[in-house]
Amino acid sequence: MTAEELGKLMKSGQAPVLLDVRSGSEFNSGHISGAIHAPLTNVLKATSVASKNKQDLLVLICEHGPRAQLAKALLKWNGYKNIELLNGHMAHWRHSGRAVLKNQQ
């Protein structure tokens, strides 16, 4: 899913479930509004809380992609059917000037 497609869905109120699989420090330093922190080591538990329907659209967010690829494989193996990766990942989102939220520490 492109950043543009995701932005349109978010503006229309039809945002998919956004799962940010980065580390806690990466997530706190800047994440997409509405994203759920679901580090790779906890992605199944976080996903089961965020989405009760395994047909829901899930968009996985990583810094550069490898963790999102692993999370996608793990989620598919556990029955989730509709999974996409954010094209260009968080690095592209940030570099394209899109808004990010930062957690206070």
Chain segment 1-60, per-residue pLDDT in tens: 999 999 999 999 999 999 999 999 999 999 999 999 999 999 999 999 999 899 999 999
53 within a domain of the structure (yes/no): yes
Residue 59 structural domain: 3-95
How many domains are there within the chain? Answer: 1
CATH number at residue 49: 3.40.250.10
CB atoms within 10 A of CB 51: 19
Beta strand 57-61 with 36-37: parallel, antiparallel or unpaired? unpaired
The structure's pTM equals: 0.93
pLDDT, residue 99, reads 86
Q: Is residue 104 part of a domain?
A: no
Q: Is the pLDDT of residue 103 over 90?
A: no
- What letter represents residue 79's amino acid? G
If 0-12 CB within 10 Å is exposed, 13-18 middle and 19+ buried, where does residue 11 land? exposed
Residue 41 DSSP one-character state? G
- For residue 104, what pLDDT is reported? 66
Residue 101 lies in a domain: no
Q: Does residue 105 surpass a pLDDT of 70? A: no
Residue 31 included in any domain: yes
**In a domain? residue 103:** no
- Rounded Cα distance, 70 and 72, in Å: 5
Reply yes or no on whether the pLDDT at 88 is more than 70: yes
